[in-house]
Structure 1
Amino acid sequence: MTTAVRRAAASLLVSALLCGGAALAPSATAAPGRAAVTHASPSGSPKATADRRDTGRHGKKAAKKHHGYRPRPGDAALYGRTNPARDGVARQSLALLGLYAASLRPAAPAVRWLQAQQCADGSFTAYRQTPTAPCDPAAPRDTGATALATQALASVGGQRPRLSAALNWLRTQQNPDGGWGSAPGAPTDATTTSEVIGALAMAGGRPSSVRSPFTDNQAYDALVGLSLPCSASHGAGGFTANPPAPGQRPVADAHATAEGLLGGIGKRFVVAPVQPGPAPSCDPAGAATPEGVARNGAAYLAPLLTPEGAHLTTDSGAADPAATADAVVAMCAAGYGRQAAGALHWLERNGPDWAKRTGPAAYARLIFTAHTAGVDPARFGGTDLVKALQATGLPAAPPATPRPGSSASARPSATASPSPTPSEAAMNPRAVAPAADADTSPVLSGGIWWVAIALVILIAAGVLFVNRHSAHGRPRG
């Protein structure tokens, strides 16, 4: 074998090893919960946000509404089989995040389905029936769905251009108070603002560096503005769903408070367990800081979640498993898991049946809850949530890396990071771009990469040895 042939063979072997290592290493960057709250659309109607919040709520009502719907061939990779017109992007995003929380890599077609829903300007609508055609400029953009899709795409890694486009679009939709509404021009609401905070943080950015071009306010300023003071006669420490109109008395909303708590501490949907600490109390001194109002929000939620069998309800008084799950995630992420134990037990008894009626988004929410509370999602109230979620769509790849955060216990290990994502990095407030995405994927930083490097070195050494041996043994002319 000639030297050229030997070198070509070695080169091909190295390439195969590297490609194989990259294919074996699952790509994951990073994901917090979200409550079912109704907020106003630009026209004053709460429909836009309510539609997105219906993902994971009101299972029987949704099933009747979509009776007779036949899935389109282009939606074969979409999780769930109900009409996606109102919640397709949100549903798919939550499903992908649920798989990420379970350390599973989504099937490639499921990721491609979500990618195809993105408009050229970086935004997402609730659902695009014909993703091969450009987005209609008049089609309503969905701020919350864009934030959820950003979190989901960040969780699979290697999505830097798409993340940059989505984050830059979100930046252009920031309201003067620093927050975001459910759609462009809509009043700020706690849920959407917290979803965008999670998207910014998950993409490796610092939410506090993204400021409104109108006033220089940032997202945390908006959350502070939505909080009630500890001196309030009703709802002390809670959050309102939207800023009250002039002369209107602010009213605390438990669902919005759960979101405000999670956003105020800068967390995402998938968050590692935090060791429980002392019970929260409403502290007037903290009313001017994001973390302070978040802790005050926890003090408002604690009495609603502590008793055995406690749960949040809808405006009509019906049990709201989605909002309850979001509240448990927020309380556990803030270190108040003991105060949410009653609600967790209620979800273990009632959540699986609700999710079975509702679909993939509900299963994903319960997986977030189990993950943050330190409960095995494969044994949540006698149900394997992960298997149930996968049954609603394409099967995912088996676990290949440690979970985003330990869910074996509510007490994290001494070496575990308090968050599954990279530390918040500096971000240009005028041109939002993720500070960490593909470059922090296990493809580049995991053990398989180092194994590949070691093999390259060994192969190169072997080729060099063979070349030298051949040169020494070659007869001189």
Structure 2
Amino acid sequence: MPSPRRRGRAAAASVLTTALLCSAWTGGVASADTPTPVSAVGYTTTARTQNGPVPLALYGKTDPTTDGVYRQSLAILALASTDTQPAPTAIEWLLGQQCADGGFTAYRADPGAPCDAAREDTVATATAIEALRALRTYDTRVARGVDWLRSKQLADGSFASVPGPNAVGDATATAAATSAIVTAGTSPELLRTPQGRTPTDALGAAQLRCNAPAPDRGAFPGGPGGPVDPLLTARAVLALGYGTQPAVPAPSIAVTPLTCPGAEPNRQAAAQAGAAWLVAKLKAGGNHLGGPTDFAATTMAVQALAATGHPAEAGAAADWLAAGAKTMAGNDPVRLASLILAAVSTGRTVTTFGGLDLPSLLQDTGPAPTPTADMANQSNLIDGPEDHTLRDTLAAVIAVLLAATLIIGMRRSRRED
């Protein structure tokens, strides 16, 4: 039988081992400012893209070259909106995609290499901001993204999809940037250029007004002189109404089309004019918008109408989506995430939407959180990679207590000798 002295030393050794394990655990997920080993965020798989392997940490297994950051961000945003925990590796992957200047490209096969500023993308950056904001712990990362957006605003108040010396603003990028800025807690009206123009001014200038044919008034064309774009219209209405993803339902108000002839509408009237166009188009189409972007446009219209005070129309479109969800969703993370955002915006149950458990299906398209990973991620989500104060304080307290226990154990063993 071990002597009291040996038992004391064994207890002390056990305490020391526990201290080391606790110290390792409180390290949590790697800091976002510290390079993460490639293997730690899943950059090895047998599937290939034109830029190399498809990251295992990515939601979806199709080539991410053109949409990797966008679909990862949308998936994380959707899961967070349902209080479903995204996998830690999925979050780490997205963090690793952010460039040193705060922007994001559509996809970087090698996140360790410096970003090509000419490839940084406004929509990818805006969606990443929304996702990181939804996690509630990455304020520094969000602020860097917003600063990047602000630095890319053009003289007319708009944003270009891919900023550059000769970039031309477009409504899609401007709407995405506006919603992201609102999500981050900043009013778009504060983003006023030296020429006095704001993002919503730029959106208003792109809207079809009284000089357009009556059926098109309130909508947005895909480009100057182009046909009406339902998806762009829904995105722009969400932004003009200062809506975010998922939309927070506004109190119900009457549908108010553009008044012609009449004075130029203000931001709120412009948002309502766009909403009126969406409502008319949905009613004519059987609660969906139709056309080549039918699914994406209808899911975005649900959010836009919820945000601008038209819950009945938004709900009818959401029900149309639910009726066809099993056929339309597949295992596409963007479609599953879009359905979740539409469901949340209209108060539908995401775990039974159209007979589908949408969060579970979305999780199945990417890295599945394990119990061990979940524990580590809780530490990461408490304080975020840019602020380890709470975690480090807890680690210090634990270390002091365990060291004191170790010293007491050793002193007792000496007295027993």
Scaled to the shorter chain, the TM-score interval is 0.7 to 0.9
1:157 corresponds to which of 136, 140, 162:
136
Structure 1 SS opposite 2:324: helix
**Structure 1 unmatched runs, 5+:** 1-8, 24-66, 399-440, 450-455, 457-477
Is the alpha carbon distance of 1:308 and 1:241 closer, same or farther for their aligned partners in structure 2, counting shifts above 3 Å? Answer: closer
2:79 corresponds to which of 95, 99, 113:
99
**Structure 2 unmatched runs, 5+:** 1-14, 29-46, 372-380, 385-389, 391-396, 398-417
| Stretches (4+) displaced over 4 A | 67-74, 441-444
Matches within 5 A, 1:24-423: 75-137=55-117, 139-185=118-164, 186-213=167-194, 215-230=195-210, 232-234=212-214, 235-242=216-223, 244=224, 249=225, 251-284=227-260, 287-306=264-283, 309-314=286-291, 318=292, 320-356=294-330, 359-395=332-368
Structure 1 SS opposite 2:120: coil
Equivalent-residue separation in structure 2 for 1:70 and 1:389 (angstroms):
25
Aligned length: 337
Equivalent-residue separation in structure 2 for 1:397 and 1:205 (angstroms):
36
Amino acid at match of 2:80: Y
Larger-gyration structure (1/2): 2
The TM-score normalised by the length of structure 1 is: 0.64
Query: Could you tell me how far 1:182 is from its partner in structure 2?
Result: 1.0
Kindly indicate whether the alpha-carbon contact (under 8 Å) linking 1:180 and 1:192 is maintained by their aligned counterparts in 2: yes
- Greater share of residues in helix: 2
Equivalent-residue separation in structure 2 for 1:381 and 1:283 (angstroms):
38
Query: Could you tell me how far 1:207 is from its partner in structure 2?
Result: 1.4
Kindly indicate whether the alpha-carbon contact (under 8 Å) linking 1:226 and 1:239 is maintained by their aligned counterparts in 2: yes
Is the alpha carbon distance of 1:69 and 1:333 closer, same or farther for their aligned partners in structure 2, counting shifts above 3 Å? Answer: same
Kindly indicate whether the alpha-carbon contact (under 8 Å) linking 1:264 and 1:293 is maintained by their aligned counterparts in 2: yes
Kindly indicate whether the alpha-carbon contact (under 8 Å) linking 2:220 and 2:232 is maintained by their aligned counterparts in 1: yes
The TM-score normalised by the length of structure 2 is: 0.72
Superposition CA RMSD, Å: 3.2
Amino acid at match of 1:134: P
Query: Could you tell me how far 1:251 is from its partner in structure 2?
Result: 4.6
Structure 1 SS opposite 2:248: coil
Amino acid at match of 1:128: R
Is the alpha carbon distance of 1:68 and 1:271 closer, same or farther for their aligned partners in structure 2, counting shifts above 3 Å? Answer: same
Is the alpha carbon distance of 1:356 and 1:209 closer, same or farther for their aligned partners in structure 2, counting shifts above 3 Å? Answer: same
Equivalent-residue separation in structure 1 for 2:370 and 2:267 (angstroms):
38
**Offset from partner CA, 1:246-270 (integer Å, 9 cap, x none):** xxx5653322211111000111111
Kindly indicate whether the alpha-carbon contact (under 8 Å) linking 1:71 and 1:82 is maintained by their aligned counterparts in 2: no
Amino acid at match of 1:205: T
Equivalent-residue separation in structure 2 for 1:68 and 1:291 (angstroms):
47
Query: Could you tell me how far 1:163 is from its partner in structure 2?
Result: 2.0
Is the alpha carbon distance of 1:225 and 1:331 closer, same or farther for their aligned partners in structure 2, counting shifts above 3 Å? Answer: same
Equivalent-residue separation in structure 2 for 1:367 and 1:71 (angstroms):
30
